[in-house]
């Protein structure tokens, strides 16, 4: 089976009921569809709530757009000085090499700009202009290849781009954001891995992965090929309702990532992309999930929960707050531990009276241990 791209193919393969086909034609007319074999094989067709299917099989709710949802939810356009570049933060830029992906995620924050019919790869002249922009801005320390998915681009073209970036003295780090290791792991060949390395400068790869089942034997091997080649790996996960919004699933994913030598990096709150409300959680649930992970999973397994502020104002951490008060202003600082118990800091002589539960009661045997 190759990549499925039409509602008719989805019906034929038992991924959607035939009676939904007409509605899904409407979805497919608006948003790109691609379900690669590597992910389709993971779907349990007997489970109407399968977490892999929820991410990649189009749903009629995608045609429902709330007033809060916007075409460019993280504000790429307002920070694009030349085509192909997004310069939102002082020391780094995005270089959008392509608008094509190996899989089209139903929650994609760039769903209005990716897909067939958009440029498969930046035209030579456009790419030259984007590289010139990077060359003439010495404050750019890091370049992040994104898209679309940069690892759908040929190894030959990637090697050229990496060489050009490697030749720019002030660019010290290149980062590649990709979902290919889980969507098409066979594409991560040793040749492609060599192509994304540049001389003495580090290339980081941030793998987009949302559910532990995506880390198949093949996906793990693809990540190992990069890690063995000396490429540090990070993860990006989108918090998705019905996919990974429980401590068990998210905890299993974070541990599996670390076992694969992938450092959990960002847990993204779902962006306000059009037609994605059925997959978005609320922030309070995300914060509770982060509380549930804290202390119960190794610190190495903890991602940073972030929100891209609509309008292009950048990412902010939105995890739970564990501290209250302000010692600089003479207000007692109270720190909450992972069990929900609160401790004054400094602890006033380390007496038992410095520890309470969330309701302010003193636990009978409050722990002061580390």
Bridge-based pairing of strands 92-96 and 85-89 is antiparallel
Nearest to 273 by CA among 303, 242, 238, 297: 238
Catalytic status, residue 101: yes
Catalytic status, residue 30: no
Give min distance, CB of 335 to ligand SF4, in A.
Answer: 36
> Which residue, 149 or 245, is less far from ligand SF4 as judged by CB?
149
How far from each other are the two terminal CA atoms of the chain, in whole angstroms? 53
Instruction: Choose, from 72, 108, 213, 305, the residue flagged as catalytic.
Output: 108
Assess contact for 98 and 148: CB atoms under 8 A: yes
> Which residue, 197 or 208, is less far from ligand SF4 as judged by CB?
208
Cα separation of 97 and 153, whole Å? 8
| Buried b / exposed e along 178-213 (16+ C-beta atoms within 10 A) | bbbbbbbbebbeeebbebbbbeeeebbbbbbbbbbb
Instruction: Choose, from 50, 184, 245, 271, the residue flagged as catalytic.
Output: 271
Assess contact for 188 and 134: CB atoms under 8 A: no
> Which residue, 149 or 336, is less far from ligand SF4 as judged by CB?
149
Catalytic status, residue 92: yes
> Which residue, 109 or 133, is less far from ligand SF4 as judged by CB?
109
Instruction: Choose, from 5, 30, 37, 89, the residue flagged as catalytic.
Output: 89
Catalytic status, residue 370: no
Catalytic status, residue 61: no
Give min distance, CB of 291 to ligand SF4, in A.
Answer: 26
Give min distance, CB of 50 to ligand SF4, in A.
Answer: 18
Binding site for ligand SF4 (CB under 6 A): 101, 103-105, 108, 110, 114, 147-149, 179, 208
Instruction: Choose, from 54, 76, 88, 106, the residue flagged as catalytic.
Output: 88
3-class SS of residue 103 = coil
> Which residue, 148 or 286, is less far from ligand SF4 as judged by CB?
148
Bridge partners (DSSP) of residue 336 are 342
Bridge-based pairing of strands 262-268 and 233-238 is parallel
Output the CA torsion sign for 296, 297, 300, 301. Answer: negative
Give min distance, CB of 337 to ligand SF4, in A.
Answer: 36
Catalytic status, residue 110: yes
Catalytic status, residue 301: no
Residue with tokens 């699933």: 249
3-class SS of residue 198 = strand
User: What residues are annotated to the active site?
Assistant: 88-89, 92, 101, 105, 108, 110, 271, 308, 315
């Amino acid at each position: 089976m190759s990549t499925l791209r039409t509602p008719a193919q989805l019906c034929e393969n038992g991924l959607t009921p035939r009676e939904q086909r007409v509605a899904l034609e409407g979805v497919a007319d608006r948003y790109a569809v691609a379900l690669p074999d590597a992910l389709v094989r993971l779907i349990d067709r007997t489970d109407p709530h399968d977490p892999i299917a929820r991410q990649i099989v189009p749903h009629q709710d995608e045609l429902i757009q709330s007033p809060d949802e916007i075409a460019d939810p993280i504000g790429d356009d307002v920070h694009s000085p030349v085509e192909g570049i997004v310069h939102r933060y002082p020391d780094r830029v995005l270089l959008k090499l392509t608008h094509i992906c190996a899989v089209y995620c139903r929650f994609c924050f760039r769903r209005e700009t990716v897909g067939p019919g958009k440029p498969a790869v930046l035209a030579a002249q456009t790419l030259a202009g984007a590289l010139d922009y990077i060359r003439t801005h010495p404050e750019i320390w890091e370049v992040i290849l994104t898209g679309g998915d940069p690892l759908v681009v040929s190894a030959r073209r990637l090697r050229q781009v990496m060489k050009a970036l490697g030749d720019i003295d002030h660019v010290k780090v290149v980062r590649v954001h990709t979902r290919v290791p889980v969507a098409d792991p066979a594409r991560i060949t040793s040749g492609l891995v060599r192509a994304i390395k540049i001389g003495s400068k580090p290339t980081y790869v941030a793998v987009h992965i949302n559910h532990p089942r995506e880390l198949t034997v093949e996906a793990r091997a693809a990540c190992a090929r990069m890690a063995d080649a000396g490429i540090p790996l990070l993860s990006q996960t989108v918090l998705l309702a019905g996919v990974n919004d429980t401590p068990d699933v998210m905890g299993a994913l974070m541990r599996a990532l670390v076992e694969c030598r992938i450092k959990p990096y960002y847990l993204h709150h779902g962006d306000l992309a059009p037609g994605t409300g059925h997959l978005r959680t609320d922030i309070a649930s995300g914060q509770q999930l982060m509380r549930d992970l804290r202390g119960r999973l190794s610190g190495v397994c903890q991602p940073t929960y972030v929100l891209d502020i609509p309008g292009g104002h950048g990412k902010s951490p939105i995890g739970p707050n564990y501290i209250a008060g302000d010692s600089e202003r003479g207000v007692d600082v109270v720190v909450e531990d992972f069990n929900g118990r609160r401790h004054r800091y400094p602890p006033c002589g380390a007496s038992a009276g410095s520890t309470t539960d969330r309701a302010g009661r003193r636990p009978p045997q409050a722990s002061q241990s580390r």
